[in-house]
Amino acid sequence: MDNSDMKQIQWFPGHMAKTRRLIASNLSLVDAVVEILDARTPLSSRNPEMDKLTRNKPRMVLLNKCDLADDKATQLWVNYFKNCGCAALAVDCKSGKGLKSILPTIKNTVLKELMEKRAKNGMTGAAIRLMIVGIPNVGKSSLINKLAGSKRAKVEDRPGVTRTKQWVKLDNNTELLDMPGVLWPKFEDQDVAIRLAFTGAISDDILDIETLAMKLLSYLAENYPASLTERYKIELSEEDKGFELLEKVGKKRGMMISGGEINTERAAITVLDEFRSGKLGKITLEAPPQKEQ
Ligand code: G4P
């Protein structure tokens, strides 16, 4: 992508250092780490230091928001993570799809050795402790609320209360460590930042809204042309660049300003909103790397 028109994203290394310390100091309290990613952007929504941060802890990846992602691509991503030695499941915290498989997968796969050791020592009742991590907006709170039910106290919503780490009980012998602190994605990679802006995971003002929508339209025309022709009833031609596509959408939707010009800003807002809410169909924004990274 040509990202020369992009604003530099501000991020705060201090926050990351604090979160890094929190994870490091709590790692010994848990048996496994559950990492939540966005199924539409599995690598872009990943904290680049996760391998280093969680060291050798058994780990599981959840590809959340699979209701918005391309099912075939999600399956490729599940296989990709499995080939990297990490259990992976596609889940949807909105409908609850896939959530019932999380704890059995952890017990039977991720923590198989530990469970066998405990069974041998007559300790099958001992609690399993999990740490849940993920960049903002990926669905951590939704997951915890779905798994723990409504009993969970929402400490972070009370003004003046500093959020500390909380143990959330999932069942009689599973506890989840809900960590405060913010894990950042790999902001300094501009393609990553653009994909995250497409999904709304980070503020979309890294680019002006029209440029962002044009980039999304170009990606869709190349990878999911039917989603554009079906949703907007437009015809695509080989020569169409992002701007022509944006104009076609605006024109078709009757978004005009005085003088017969097309209101491309309104069209841009519409395209991004409709993509984010799934109205353009199930779309994935990146494919697994060919080789393990
Ligand atoms: P976080 O704690 O990691 O920051 O994420 P959070 O659970 O707050 O979720 C961020 C947004 O993503 C929420 O939408 C949430 O509803 C949505 N979300 C979470 N999981 C899924 C999923 O599997 N599928 C879909 N389609 N959306 C999901 P929001 O617009 O911020 O709030 P609201 O729509 O719930 O009011």
Residues 65 and 146 in one domain: yes
Q: Is the CB of 185 under 6 A from ligand 1?
A: no
Residues 81 and 226 in one domain: no
**Considering the domain boundaries, does residue 106 fall inside one?**
yes
Confidence grade of residue 9 (pLDDT, cut at 50, 70, 90): low
CA pair distance 64, 216, nearest whole angstrom = 21
Q: What is the reported pTM?
A: 0.91
DSSP category for residue 176: E
Confidence grade of residue 22 (pLDDT, cut at 50, 70, 90): confident
Q: Is the CB of 64 under 6 A from ligand 1?
A: yes
Q: Please say if the pLDDT value at position 229 is more than 50.
A: yes
**Considering the domain boundaries, does residue 241 fall inside one?**
yes
Asked whether the beta carbons of 102 and 91 are under 8 A apart, the reply is yes
Pocket test residue of 38, 66, 93, 152 for ligand 1, highest count of atoms within 8 A of CB: 93
Quote the pLDDT of residue 155.
45
| 122 annotated to bind ligand | no
List the 32-38 sheet strands across, edge first: 87-90, 59-64, 32-38, 128-133, 174-178, 166-171
Q: Which helix (H) or strand (E) holds 211?
A: helix 209-223
Residues 174 and 46 in one domain: yes
Residues 21 and 163 in one domain: yes
What percentage of the chain exceeds 70 in pLDDT? Answer: 88
| 139 annotated to bind ligand | yes
**Considering the domain boundaries, does residue 202 fall inside one?**
no
Q: What does pLDDT average to over the chain? A: 89
Query: CA triplet 240, 244, 248: central angle to 5 degrees?
Result: 110
Total domains, the chain: 2
User: How do residues 70-128 score in pLDDT, each as one tens digit?
Assistant: 999 999 999 999 999 999 999 999 999 999 999 999 999 999 999 999 999 998 889 99
**Considering the domain boundaries, does residue 23 fall inside one?**
yes
Query: Tokens 């929190």 correspond to what residue?
Result: 22
Looking from the CA of residue 65, the nearest atom of ligand 1 is: 23
List C-alpha distances in Å: 70 to 167, 181, 193, 278: 34, 31, 20, 11
CA pair distance 228, 129, nearest whole angstrom = 45
Residues 113 and 243 in one domain: no
Q: Please say if the pLDDT value at position 10 is more than 60.
A: no
Q: Which residue has the higher pLDDT, 253 or 52?
A: 253
**Considering the domain boundaries, does residue 163 fall inside one?**
yes
Q: Is 59 helix (H, G, I), strand (E, B) or coil?
A: strand
**Considering the domain boundaries, does residue 140 fall inside one?**
yes
Domain of 252? Answer: 208-276
Last residue of a domain, one of 138, 161, 178: 178
Residues 113 and 231 in one domain: no
Residues 143 and 239 in one domain: no
Residues 117 and 20 in one domain: yes
Residues 25 and 63 in one domain: yes
Residue nearest atom 10 in ligand 1 by C-alpha distance: 137
Q: Which of 58, 68, 61 is nearest to 47 (CA)?
A: 61
Q: Is the CB of 94 under 6 A from ligand 1?
A: yes
Q: Please say if the pLDDT value at position 180 is more than 80.
A: no
CA pair distance 125, 62, nearest whole angstrom = 26
Q: Please say if the pLDDT value at position 156 is more than 70.
A: no
Give how far the C-alpha of residue 277 lies from the chain's centroid of Cα atoms, to the nearest Å. 14
Quote the pLDDT of residue 55.
81
Residues 22 and 148 in one domain: yes
**Considering the domain boundaries, does residue 284 fall inside one?**
no
Residues 167 and 59 in one domain: yes
Asked whether the beta carbons of 213 and 221 are under 8 A apart, the reply is no
Last residue of a domain, one of 178, 200, 221: 178
**Considering the domain boundaries, does residue 78 fall inside one?**
yes
Residue 42: CATH number of its domain: 3.40.50.300
Residue nearest atom 6 in ligand 1 by C-alpha distance: 139
Q: Please say if the pLDDT value at position 167 is more than 50.
A: yes
CA neighbours closer than 13 Å in the CB half-sphere of residue 6: 22
Amino acid identity for residue 225 in this structure:
P
Pocket test residue of 71, 137, 178 for ligand 1, highest count of atoms within 8 A of CB: 137
Last residue of a domain, one of 178, 197, 230: 178
Residue 222: CATH number of its domain: 1.10.1580.10
Residues 166 and 216 in one domain: no
Where is average pLDDT lowest: 17-26, 31-40, 162-171, 193-202?
162-171
